[in-house]
Structure 1
Amino acid sequence: MQFQQLMPVGYVKQPPLKTFVIAKIKKENTEKQIKLYKQKYHQYFYQHDYLKLVKQGKEKDHVLMLFCFPEDLEKMKVDFEVEEYIEIELPSIAPIHKDQKSLYNDYWNILHPNYEYPHKQNKDAALRMQQILDTKVTRNKCILYDEDNTIVIEAEDETHINNARHCVMVAMEKLAEHNKNENQQKHFHDLQYYAKEMTLVIYFEPCIMCAMALVHSRIKEVYYYQKRVVDGGLNDQLQLNNLKQLNHKYLVFYQH
């Protein structure tokens, strides 16, 4: 059984562009100009550090150096020996994977992204999913296992008891109780990230509520078999596992 990875928004899109100013510098002056630039403005492009500072120009006796934004050119150029300043459109955000990096390289030399997609799949995920397929009745079911591939919790949907008791919520409740029992000497708040480095395999795509609960639990990755028609939280549209404004992200793989 093979899963597809839920890719981040913008996985293969062309980058959004922003106007930068580059400096055309004679090769014999390169070392001096770079040293001066780093002394004076080493933090200037801290939000764009995926762009390399210097690249070879079309003319062999010149290099091109990332210099500034247009509005800062007049005040920044005073101390530099530059033959020409050129405005150019460059990617305004960093690439997130190798394929995107190759697109960005058409604009400028780009540093290697921090993340690579797709990620390797957990080797036991297919086995755990088959266990669910073999035993699932009418309710949703999930299996939670740790980095040693040991099953920690199994849970089923309990919405017949309470509408909010989806199987993810039941699993998180069981896991919290399990951790408290295993670590009586620790205060419960020490275990607030109680699913860290764990993998969840579940039949139905987690809903919005459950997807957010998995963020708070610091889950490592989620595998699901069937997408929800409505209210799914881990699909191409919502991707609650990968929101920039949240302080945790996790990987998602799906079958259908």
Structure 2
Amino acid sequence: MEEVSNCSGNDISSSCSKKQFTGEPTLMKQPEAVLDDVYYRSLELVDIFVCTIKDKKKTSEIVKNICKHLPLEKLSHLKRVRSNTNQVDELQIIVAENYEEDFLTNIWSDLCENNAVYCHVSKPYMVKVPALPPLTRQQYNNAVQYWPCSFHEDKRITRLLNRSFFNAEEVKCIHKNMEEAISVAKSSVYKLHIGAVIVDPKSDTIIAKSCDLRQGKHPLQHAVMVAIDQVATVQGGGMWQLSDKCSNNLQKETCCKEKGDKTGPYLCTGYDLYVTAEPCIMCAMALVHSRISRVFYGSPHPEGALGSKYKLHVQPGINHHYEVFCGVLQDHCHKLMSDIT
């Protein structure tokens, strides 16, 4: 299989529009969606056998017979017939999806002997075609340079790839919430300045927020883990009795809901997380278990689990998938980490 390089490019509540954004206009960029690698893959080519149709009047009969005797199973995304790129008045038809040396001497010879319609096609020869179905407009444009393909564009994926998914008011709301996470990170009494904020997007309400406490008494008290635990506390649970200066201040500011107001069987169903640094694998998995809806982070991390080293949120084996967006106020978030001495 050959690889050809190619170039790759839940609405927030309208209540966001009621709040003034205090950030700099130069920072008003669309967050970048962290999608499955299949949407960024390069074009892969595979060798197949095709024939030239000698008599175009026999095309329908030829296609019917070849589809019956030589069905396409692995390459069903390909059109069976195309116009010959070298000869405008000729048609080419796919006869075998696997390039096997014994195809001509065995299978094809038997078909020609038993069906006269095959005298209207040339001897099979090899061409390269796209091995996988295109999932994006860019992949489709690259694929059809080799062979016509079926393609049903996912408009949502296109908007995510083009970074045109959110409207201006939604971007303001996203940046406002990340500014809050940055503010929380700066309030930390520890050197590791990471802030996390969990928001209910339906009401634009902060449910919980925390800075990173792992340098205190407990190594598992990452900002994300503490924020999730605060959500549990709001709902009558929680595991950690936090006594650090940072957490005490934040607990007082946490916007608690009325008991019974939470919908859904999990802690963070329908909620968004804003965190200044890309979550680690532990935090990313905790977000799966708590059923977070979306994650927005600022600065990537070499060991990060949501785009840099892993993409946990798109793994097919997990029982919940959430959306991830990166690069929100990235320079500001990165500065929080670079300020550590």
| TM-score between both structures, scaled by the size of structure 2 | 0.58
Matched, 1:27 2:56: yes
Within 5 A, what are the aligned runs for 1:50-199?
50-58=77-85, 59-67=87-95, 68-71=97-100, 73=103, 74-75=106-107, 78=111, 81=118, 82-112=121-151, 114=154, 115-116=157-158, 117-119=161-163, 120-121=165-166, 123=171, 124-136=173-185, 137-138=187-188, 139-146=193-200, 148=202, 150-151=204-205, 153-156=207-210, 157-159=212-214, 160-175=216-231, 178=235, 182=260, 191=265, 195=268, 198-199=271-272
In 2, are the aligned partners of 1:5 and 1:254 still within 8 Å (CA)?
A: no
Provide the secondary structure at the position in 2 that maps to 1:101.
helix
Provide the secondary structure at the position in 2 that maps to 1:16.
strand
Deviation digits for residues 148-193 of structure 1 (CA, Å, limit 9, x no counterpart): 3633632313423421222322344455674996499x9xxx836x
Provide the secondary structure at the position in 1 that maps to 2:179.
helix
Say if 1:216 and 1:49 are closer, same or farther in 2 by CA, change over 3 A. farther
Residue identity (%)? 21
Say if 1:101 and 1:243 are closer, same or farther in 2 by CA, change over 3 A. farther
Provide the secondary structure at the position in 1 that maps to 2:177.
helix
Q: Which has the higher helix share?
A: 2
CA distance in 2, matches of 1:18, 1:40: 21
**Higher deviation after alignment, 174-183 or 101-110:** 174-183
Say if 1:83 and 1:237 are closer, same or farther in 2 by CA, change over 3 A. same
| Larger of the two Rg values belongs to structure | 2
Q: CA deviation at 1:6?
A: 3.8
Residue correspondences, number: 248
The aligned counterpart of 1:234 is 306
CA distance in 2, matches of 1:166, 1:20: 53
CA distance in 2, matches of 1:201, 1:242: 19
Structure 2 residues not aligned, in runs of 5+:
1-27, 238-258, 331-341
Structure 1 residues not aligned, in runs of 5+:
none
Q: Give the letter for the 2:196 counterpart.
A: C
Q: CA deviation at 1:37?
A: 4.3
The aligned counterpart of 1:15 is 43
Q: CA deviation at 1:108?
A: 1.7
Q: Give the letter for the 1:206 counterpart.
A: P
Q: CA deviation at 1:215?
A: 4.2
Say if 1:83 and 1:222 are closer, same or farther in 2 by CA, change over 3 A. same
Q: CA deviation at 1:241?
A: 3.2
Q: What do you get for the CA RMSD once the two structures are aligned?
A: 3.7
**Higher deviation after alignment, 78-87 or 120-129:** 78-87
Matched, 1:222 2:273: no
Provide the secondary structure at the position in 2 that maps to 1:84.
coil
In 2, are the aligned partners of 1:243 and 1:249 still within 8 Å (CA)?
A: no
The aligned counterpart of 1:212 is 285
Say if 1:204 and 1:236 are closer, same or farther in 2 by CA, change over 3 A. closer
Say if 1:128 and 1:17 are closer, same or farther in 2 by CA, change over 3 A. same
Q: CA deviation at 1:203?
A: 1.0
Say if 1:170 and 1:75 are closer, same or farther in 2 by CA, change over 3 A. farther
In 2, are the aligned partners of 1:204 and 1:225 still within 8 Å (CA)?
A: yes
Q: Give the letter for the 2:139 counterpart.
A: Q
Provide the secondary structure at the position in 1 that maps to 2:124.
strand
CA distance in 1, matches of 2:66, 2:293: 41
Q: Give the letter for the 1:169 counterpart.
A: M
In 2, are the aligned partners of 1:20 and 1:70 still within 8 Å (CA)?
A: yes
In 1, are the aligned partners of 2:184 and 2:196 still within 8 Å (CA)?
A: no
Q: Which has the higher strand share?
A: 1
Say if 1:96 and 1:36 are closer, same or farther in 2 by CA, change over 3 A. same
Q: Give the letter for the 2:56 counterpart.
A: K
